[in-house]
């Protein structure tokens, strides 16, 4: 059962009544066709908050562990995820990135909108971290424009790291920027070269930085040139050492 079109207006109404969020830049959202929505990621509730601000159905790639819960609750949760356009992807092992890329291409070739968080995981401290190249790879493979989106106030609105709803009275704003044509950006990088070979690793990283800069200019975050998952791993290790010393 497809529930996205049913639940989205209901959730949006509740969000509007309780938190009164604002949004700007809606004129940049393509009304139809393939599109990649790339957003900064500082809170757990962005996964439903941001889509309610975007007048398009958004598809998401989710780790397949979300669909493997045991018992009645696990099965109901998996059914709910599928009904709101979350697609299970096995991201474990060496083939995880390839599986996610293939699933994303399938969504986009169906002329749908795909939502991604280029940082890969939530920011541990509200800063913006280095983006992964997946969004750019998808854009170059399908010709889909990337819609940069920034959430403001979401990190401050967290009641705790595990909270899935923001604080009451939080000021939340979604800023949407003009779409980015990564094919055109790649052509600019190459200049007179004009070659049509696949983008190199350096080119993918440069294009990803262009995307992250576009989001950061709207969010106002400080940029840290490091992957967020590496920072989280280091912080977890430090906490473990502190606990052992205690």
Q: Using alpha carbons only, give the angle 23, 17, 82 rounded to the nearest 5 degrees.
A: 75
Cα of first residue to Cα of last residue in the chain, in angstroms, is 52
Nearest to 221 by CA among 130, 116, 146, 133: 130
- State the pLDDT at residue 131: 96
Residue 92 has pLDDT above 70, yes or no: no
- State the pLDDT at residue 235: 83
Residue 192 has pLDDT above 80, yes or no: no
The secondary structure element, H or E, covering residue 61 is strand 58-63
Give mean pLDDT, residues 147-161. Answer: 94
Nearest to 151 by CA among 23, 16, 5: 23
Task: Give the dihedral sign, CA 91/60/118/143.
Answer: positive
Residue 238 has pLDDT above 80, yes or no: no
- State the pLDDT at residue 236: 82
Q: How far apart are CA 32 and CA 111, in angstroms?
A: 8
- State the pLDDT at residue 91: 65
- State the pLDDT at residue 200: 95
Residue 124 has pLDDT above 90, yes or no: yes
* Average pLDDT of every residue of the chain: 91
Q: How far apart are CA 240 and CA 246, in angstroms?
A: 10
Question: Is residue 213 helix, strand or coil?
Answer: helix
DSSP letter string, 123-184: -SSS-EEPPPSHHHHHHHHH-PPEEEEEEESTTTT-SSTT-SSPPTT---EEEEPPPB-HHH
Range in 54-68, 131-145, 174-188, 213-227 the model is least confident about = 54-68
Q: Which of 20-34, 87-101, 191-205 has the highest mean pLDDT?
A: 20-34
Give mean pLDDT, residues 101-109. Answer: 94
Q: What is the pTM of this model?
A: 0.91
């Amino acid at each position: 059962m497809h529930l996205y079109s049913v639940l989205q207006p209901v959730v949006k109404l509740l969000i509007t009544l309780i938190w009164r969020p604002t949004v700007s830049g809606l004129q940049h959202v393509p009304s139809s066709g393939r599109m990649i929505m790339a957003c900064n990621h500082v809170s757990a509730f962005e996964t439903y908050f941001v889509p309610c601000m975007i007048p398009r159905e958004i598809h998401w790639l989710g780790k397949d562990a979300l669909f493997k819960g045991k018992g009645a609750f696990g099965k109901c949760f998996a059914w709910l995820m599928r009904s709101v356009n979350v697609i299970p992807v096995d991201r474990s092992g060496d083939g995880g990135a390839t599986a996610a890329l293939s699933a994303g291409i399938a969504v986009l070739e169906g002329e749908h909108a795909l939502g991604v968080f280029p940082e890969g995981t939530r920011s541990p401290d509200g800063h913006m971290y280095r983006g992964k190249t997946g969004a750019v790879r998808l854009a170059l493979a399908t010709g889909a424009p990337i819609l940069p989106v920034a959430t403001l106030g979401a990190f401050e609105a967290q009641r705790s790291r595990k909270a899935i709803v923001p604080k009451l009275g939080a000021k939340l704003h979604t800023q949407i920027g003009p779409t980015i044509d990564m094919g055109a950006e790649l052509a600019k990088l190459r200049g007179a070269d004009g070659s049509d070979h696949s983008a190199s690793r350096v080119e993918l990283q440069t294009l990803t930085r262009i995307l992250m800069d576009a989001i950061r200019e709207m969010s106002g975050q400080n940029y840290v040139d490091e992957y967020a998952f590496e920072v989280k791993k280091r912080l977890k290790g430090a906490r473990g050492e502190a606990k052992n010393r205690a």
